[in-house]
Amino acid sequence: MKLLRHGPAGAEKPGLLDTDGTIRDLSAVIPDLAGEALSPAGLDRLRALDPATLPAVAPGTRLGPPVSGMRNFVCIGLNYADHAAETGAPIPKEPIIFLKSLGALQGPNDDVVIPKGSSKTDWEVELAVIIGTRAKNVAVHDALSHVAGFAVSNDVSERSWQSERGGTWDKGKGADTFGPLGPWLVTADEVPDPQDLSLFLEVDGQRRQDGSTSTMIFGVQHLVSYVSHFITLHPGDVISTGTPPGVGMGLKPPVFLRPGQTMRLGIAGLGEQQQRVVAYEE
């Protein structure tokens, strides 16, 4: 299934994408895509529905983040060896974990705002893992049983704040609009191998990133287990699993986002996002 949330920001309703590409409203069936609805039993109940019996949503309706009730927006740094190399960083011996502010979360096609004072806003296409059941101290072999599905994530980053302002990476990762997620949650049963997905990102039609999850240093199972030993994961939580090479800071010379540009990014089988880059306004 492809599950989504549609409608104005802050007032999204749950929905699904049927096999004809029509968005169907689920708000008479579940209150939101959160909590129990993301569990195996909850997803099975949604699979049993006949989409044709659900109201169609008007084409062009805004899509929001495909889950609600998120407590933790976890990100993994330098999880592709070739990306680590382009940044001049050593290959991590253990996953690098940082948290993205929940205020960064937004819909897949909403504008990305370059923050006030930013000079090095950058892009990062990533595979997002969406948790379906509570995970704490989970064994690697059991990790995928806690995953509801997968989505496309753009880990937008301000590099000067991340690397040149002291402290942790978080200050360069958590600005408003820096966490586009979606367009939908693709349930895990439709992603037979999360370590065999191609990813891409373009800026103004120029291909910047072109990679595969097969080159991750730490795979999805390892990451879910690893993170769960430090942070209890809850339904709707997201782990954004790192980015392949081709980010702006890795180009020679570096290239960063400017107002008026457009990012388009996607992952095979999980859909695409498109964001307009705009300047901050008081």
**Tens digits of pLDDT across the chain (282 residues):** 999 999 999 999 999 999 999 999 999 999 999 999 999 999 999 999 999 999 999 999 999 999 999 999 999 999 998 787 887 778 899 999 999 999 999 999 999 999 999 999 999 999 999 999 999 999 999 999 999 999 999 999 999 999 888 878 899 999 999 999 999 999 999 999 999 999 999 999 999 999 999 999 999 999 999 999 999 999 999 999 999 999 999 999 999 999 999 999 999 999 999 999 999 998
Name which of 188, 189, 202 is nearest 275 in CA terms: 202
DSSP character string of 87-108: HTPPPPSS-EEEE--GGGEE-T
| Proportion of the chain in helix, strand, coil states, percent, rounded to 5 | 20, 30, 50
Residues spanned by CATH 3.90.850.10 within the chain? 73-279
CATH superfamily of the 73-279 domain: Fumarylacetoacetase-like, C-terminal domain (3.90.850.10)
- Rounded to whole angstroms, the Cα distance separating 248 from 114 reads 14
Return d(Cα 55, Cα 26) in angstroms, integer. 8
Q: What contacts 269, CB < 8 A, 6 or more positions away?
A: 186, 190, 191, 197
pTM: 0.96
Q: How is residue 13 written in tokens? A: 């309703």
How far apart CA 138 and CA 145 sit, in angstroms, is 10
Could you tell me which of 237, 10, 9 has the C-alpha nearest to residue 109?
9
Query: pLDDT tens digits, residue range 194-213?
Result: 999 999 999 999 999 999 99
154 Cβ contact partners less than 8 Å away, ≥ 6 residues apart = 112, 123, 124, 125, 126, 179, 180, 201, 263, 265, 273, 275
